[in-house]
Amino acid sequence: MTHPGEARIFGLRLPDYPWDAMRPYVEKAAQHPDGAVNLSIGTPVDPTPEVIRDALTAASDAPGYPTTHGTPALREAISAWFARRRGVPGLDPENILPTIGSKELVAWLPTLLGLGEGDVVVRPRVAYPSYDVGALLAGATPVAAGSLAELAPEVRQRVRLVWLNSPANPTGEVLDAGAMRAVVDEARSLGAVVASDECYAELGWGRWDPERGGEPVPSVLDPRIAGSSSDLLLSIYSLSKQSNVAGYRAAFVAGDGAIVANLVNSRKHAGMIVPFPVQEAMRVALGDDGHVQRQKDLYRGRRERLVPALRSFGMTISSSDAGLYLWASDGGATWDTVERFASEGIVVGPGTFYGEAGSGFVRVALTGTDERIDAAVARLAR
């Protein structure tokens, strides 16, 4: 509360952005004679495929306002993609909504769901910080948990939103259909929404690599998990990683029809609209599987070179079954490991940025050019 004559401080009270703490390690890595190799952030570095750029250009004459709900053609393309790539047949295009990237939706979903003081938002023990930030923006309480069953009864009864992240950032862990179904059943028994952040789903390795004899990463909307309806379920996906369009802010959410309809209405009021040229680029990208496979092959090659190099550097790799990261530890403290990499001119992400359970780990991204990945491999091998 302010009193007459006192200056009011405006702005949201959120934690400091964690990556600012990396500055001294970035500076140290930059001193390497051959330059730094930054493997700390998962931003794509390869060119946006020409088929997508052409679609963006073709739709650039867009003088009118775009539709918040997305064009019917885009939503039909998303529905077809779910059937073809994610094992989700017959998804009603009405129950789909394009979003301005997935991080925006993650951060604002608790608010858009009407959550507030007293409500609990559950997220994985090791998780992307935006899940907590979204709860804080809404005035709700974020709670890290491995399962709903481990929560105290007084906390459990206040759960209104449960985040799944499979494949997970930063660990690369993938939940199989049985594990996801258990979470869905328990959350539904509480009347809570399950929001599944699935933006790395096309980047499975080993058991989860269909091109190498594995199976596709399951979606929360898969009938094996959702059952006969998508009630209380939302699947969130981004094209940033699969299509190198992080700069386009191209993503979508699909699932429970009543929830999606409410999101559409709220976003109309708030002006949260994906630009029409981006909607067209998304439509074309989702119909072209070839560029996705070519990009995955690039990442596979980088991964296959980095894994043995990290092991030769004394790192143990955990999970890392999908996605663009290797979750690794040398048995030491996180920041000591970050310092050790920086001494070799390599920047990695501290596991502590992803919660207390990330202590002792670092996240190593595959998002370097082939030349920079090879430079890192050479340094680690020494």
**Contact present, 340 and 362 (Cβ < 8 Å):** no
Question: Per residue in 287-337, pLDDT tens?
Answer: 999 999 999 999 999 999 999 999 999 999 999 999 999 999 999 999 999
For the entire predicted model, the pTM comes to: 0.94
pLDDT score recorded for residue 203: 98
Within 8 A by CB and 6+ apart from 265, the residues are none
**Contact present, 42 and 326 (Cβ < 8 Å):** no
* SS3 label, residue 262: helix
Within 8 A by CB and 6+ apart from 101, the residues are 238, 240, 246, 249, 250, 251
Q: Which of 343, 372, 355 is nearest to 25 (CA)?
A: 343
Question: Which neighbouring-strand residues pair with 326?
Answer: 364
Question: What angle, rounded to 10 degrees, do the helices at 276-286 and 72-85 form?
Answer: 30
Query: % helix / strand / coil in the chain, to the nearest 5?
Result: 45, 15, 40
Alpha-carbon gap, residue 230 to 188, rounded angstroms:
11
Give me the amino acid identity at 241.
K
The pLDDT mean for the chain works out to 96
Q: DSSP letters along 84-139, please?
A: HHSS-TT--GGGEEEEE-HHHHHHHHHHHTT--TT-EEEE-SS--THHHHHHHHHT
Percent of the chain with pLDDT strictly greater than 90: 93
Q: Quick one: tokens of 223?
A: 């009938």
Per-10-residue mean pLDDT of the chain, 382 residues long, equals 70 82 94 95 95 98 97 98 97 98 97 98 96 97 96 97 97 98 98 98 97 96 97 98 97 98 98 98 98 98 98 97 98 97 97 94 97 97 86
Question: Per residue in 161-178, pLDDT tens?
Answer: 999 999 999 999 999 999
The radius of gyration computed from the CA coordinates of the chain, to the nearest angstrom, equals 21
Using the structure block, give the residue that is written with the tokens 């509360």. 1
